Amino acid sequence: MGTSVKVTFWHNDEVQAKKIASAFFAEMERINQLMSPYIESSELYSINKNAGIKEVSIGEELYQLIELSIEIGNQTNGAFDITFASVGFLYNYRERINPNQESLLNNQALIDYRQIKLNPQKQSVLLTQEGMKIDLGGIAKGYAVDNAVALLQTLGVTSALVSAGGDTKALGKHGQRPWLLAIQDPRKKGKHAIQLPMEDEAISTSGDYERYFIKEGIRHHHIIDPKTGRSASEVQSVSIIGAKSVMTDALSTSVFVLGVKEGLALINQMPAYEALIIDKDRKLHFSNGLLAN
């Protein structure tokens, strides 16, 4: 998943605990093998390879996640768009490469999640344009976290903290108290901007400090505004809190693209989700439900 995966949980039998931990990591790896855009045997790789050529029949799990991604695209007015990858692949953060004007223009028209055609009978996906690519980096980690917490529960665990990169879910309490989750200060590495108590809920943070480089004064990072093909620049960090990690993950990426005003408007009409935004001037903004507390 291109990120670190962690699990903390309580169990009174050490041998059993080790088995549970192995099952947890095996399940995370299974999802990685299914959804990675880099692994040639993944279903997702096959969809991208056949863009503009033919539809690809896939398993129910990936099909449903793509379907949900399209739905979130509609809910967020296109801020969440898994076809961002049609341009996204032109960035290489490690090598400090961003697309030049020409390749950006050539590929930008390929960003449009409405050009993904789903066929429920065949459970297949077609990317209608050649060169179009999808990437679930904005939602798959959250999905994997929900999935792993459900697995831990079936194995009898009642208290756990699971995280994959910026996506974390707390199951039950940490002893007598809620789990304590810290939100990173976007400009001071290792320093916390804020701490929140969590119990049976998920939190996802999207930040412009996770994967980025700065060139000629411009910060190029991994969250792409589908309208421009460039890194979204209105805010530094967005955290979303709510029941489902798959949703907090996708919504944190979406609100990052939407910015403070539109982002808060979106979250304020979703009663199950709350947002905490650090804008480009480091000012904090909260959704209505957090203000009320």
Q: Where do contacts with ligand AMP occur on this chain (CB under 6 A)? A: 80-82, 84, 135, 137-138, 166, 206, 210, 222-224, 226, 249, 252-253, 257
Nearer to ligand AMP, 11 or 220 (CB): 220
- Residue 3 sits at φ, ψ, to 5 deg, of -155, 170
User: Which residue number has the CB closest to Mg ion?
Assistant: 253
Left (φ > 0), alpha (ψ -120 to 50) or beta: where does 240 sit?
beta
135 binds, among Mg ion, ligand AMP, none (CB under 5 to 8 A by kind): ligand AMP
Instruction: State how far the Cα of 10 lies from the Cα of 178, in Å rounded to an integer.
Output: 14
229 binds, among ligand AMP, Mg ion, none (CB under 5 to 8 A by kind): none
Nearer to Mg ion, 99 or 137 (CB): 137
Nearer to ligand AMP, 11 or 78 (CB): 78
**Distance, C-alpha 158 to centroid of its chain:** 25
Instruction: State how far the Cα of 290 lies from the Cα of 275, in Å rounded to an integer.
Output: 8
| Alpha helices by DSSP H, the chain | 14-35, 43-49, 60-75, 85-88, 101-108, 140-154, 245-268, 288-292
Using DSSP, state whether 237 is helix, strand or coil.
strand
- What's the closest the beta carbon of residue 244 comes to Mg ion, in angstroms? 12
165 in Cβ contact with 4 (< 8 Å): yes
Instruction: State how far the Cα of 165 lies from the Cα of 249, in Å rounded to an integer.
Output: 10
- What's the closest the beta carbon of residue 170 comes to ligand AMP, in angstroms? 18
82 binds, among Mg ion, ligand AMP, none (CB under 5 to 8 A by kind): ligand AMP
Q: Is 146 in the site for Mg ion (CB under 5 A)?
A: no
Query: What DSSP string runs through 163-176?
Result: EETTEEEEES-BTT
DSSP 8-state assignment for residue 270: -
137 binds, among ligand AMP, Mg ion, none (CB under 5 to 8 A by kind): ligand AMP
Interacting residues with Mg ion between 218 and 257 (CB under 5 A)? 249, 252-253
- What's the closest the beta carbon of residue 144 comes to ligand AMP, in angstroms? 12
78 binds, among ligand AMP, Mg ion, none (CB under 5 to 8 A by kind): none
Which residues in this chain contact Mg ion in the complex, by CB under 5 A?
138, 206, 249, 252-253
